[in-house]
Structure 1
Amino acid sequence: MNFEGLEKAEVIKREKRFRLYVSFKGEEILTYLPNPGRLQGIIYPSATVYIRKRENEKRKTFYEAILGVQNGVLVSLNASLANKIFEENLFRFPVKIKEFRREFNYHGKRYDFLINNKILVEVKSVTLVEKGVGMFPDAPTIRGSEHLEFMKDWLFEKWVVFVVQREDAKIVKPHRDLDERFYRATQIFKRSGGIFWAFTCYVTHSGINFKEFIDVQV
């Protein structure tokens, strides 16, 4: 997946979840931040971000934050990219694709993918890494917990895939101290036969690509 037209900016402040004010070419501009998480250690006053102009200039926000930096490591900020990255790398998983559906509804919940009318898949974007440990979530997620809780009733194969949008994680764990309910949901999911996957990504100013699979500890 490629990035184009990135330019360096400096964070001034974050307003609400998706609004980011940055200093860019001597001006203060409003930038769209495509991530509802807290992004601790990544988004803060004076932090470096890389932004690009949005394609649809009719919208109020003309720029979008694409990358952040933490301890010299580039971090992809767009949480929704995780699904696209998973799709691009599905060939790396031990499954022969015969049928592939996006946004499959089950128990009144919308799940990310259904593979071969059998494998129910939910993808999670990970940006929080501390001492080599990737953690999800970085903000409490009722929706994320409910998805895993309902997946226990799925009678066929089911996956939760953590896409770490940076390269420095060695393992992934549920962030129990931040979201106890999500942690419990991972235990329910695991006991019901659910399978966890995780992989890291190389992130550069020109794009983001698969690096390697890593372990998930629940």
Structure 2
Amino acid sequence: MIIENPTVKGKFVKRINRFLAYVEIDGEVILTHVPNTGRCKELFVPGATVVLEKRESRGRKTLYELEFVYKGSRLISIDSQVPNKVVLDNILRGKIKQFNGYDVIEREKTYENSKFDIRLSKNEEIFYIEVKGVTLENNGVVMFPDAPTERGAKHMLELKKVKESGMRAAVIFLVQMDDVLYFTPNVKTDKKFASALKDAVDAGVEAYAFCCDVKENFVDIKREVEIRF
């Protein structure tokens, strides 16, 4: 995924709510949109170097979208819309071998009480996929979630139902950074999600993690990452 709009670097100042933060750009403190409602406490620290996308469109309250954060020398994509776009693009291009061979590729399709990010189908075969973006990292180990998520646990339970109904089901953890060791569920933060994920996998739900090649205007899948429970 390439960001076509201009980008600019700044210094993170302060997050004022889930959607807005102050960033210093060329000495001026500017209100910017934060496209991630997660905590991201280890990323949104005063003085952190950030990369913003300039979006000039009617109706926007802010000119800039906060897209990337430098954690030391590590560049991390924080936009929660990016994982779905990147995974879908790679499936459409046939770049993820586990998901090749389907004729119909659809976004945001509902099964019972949950809406999943992607549905693949061919003849009578149906495959539901849920995508989770990962921005939390500690010494090369990446984890999800960074805050308790009832919705995430519900998705795992529903994926289990999909599998038990005879269809294919998978969760993809898209790690929005490079150079990581492995992925693991964040048991300390959300035992319920970690348990629901393990139950789903034990029932046959597929789980994959991929890290990304991340540049200041670019994000794409780089390689598969080991998952450890």
Task: Return the TM-score normalized by structure 1.
Answer: 0.95
SS of the equivalent of 2:199 reads: helix
- How far, CA to CA, are the matches of 2:159 and 2:175 in structure 1? 22
1:191 aligns with 2:196: no
- How far, CA to CA, are the matches of 1:23 and 1:107 in structure 2? 45
Instruction: Determine the structure 2 residue equivalent to 1:63.
Output: 64
1:30 aligns with 2:38: no
More displaced, 206-215 or 27-36?
206-215
Instruction: Give aligned pairs, total.
Output: 218
Instruction: Determine the structure 1 residue equivalent to 2:6.
Output: 5
CA drift of 1:55 comes to 3.3
Structure 1 ranges of 4+ moved more than 3 A:
none
1:158 aligns with 2:169: yes
CA drift of 1:101 comes to 1.4
Question: Where in structure 2 are there 5+ consecutive unaligned residues?
Answer: none
SS of the equivalent of 1:39 reads: coil
- How far, CA to CA, are the matches of 2:66 and 2:36 in structure 1? 9
Instruction: Determine the structure 2 residue equivalent to 1:115.
Output: 120
Instruction: Determine the structure 1 residue equivalent to 2:52.
Output: 51
Letter of the structure 1 residue corresponding to residue 30 of structure 2? I
> In angstroms, what is the RMSD of aligned CA positions?
1.3
Letter of the structure 1 residue corresponding to residue 191 of structure 2? E
Instruction: Determine the structure 2 residue equivalent to 1:93.
Output: 97
Task: Return the TM-score normalized by structure 2.
Answer: 0.91
Contact 1:76 1:166 in 2 (8 A): yes
Match of residue 136, structure 2, among 105, 125, 128:
128
Deviations 1:20-41 (A, max 9, x none): 1111122111100101111132
1:149 aligns with 2:157: yes
- How far, CA to CA, are the matches of 2:107 and 2:2 in structure 1? 22
CA drift of 1:195 comes to 0.6
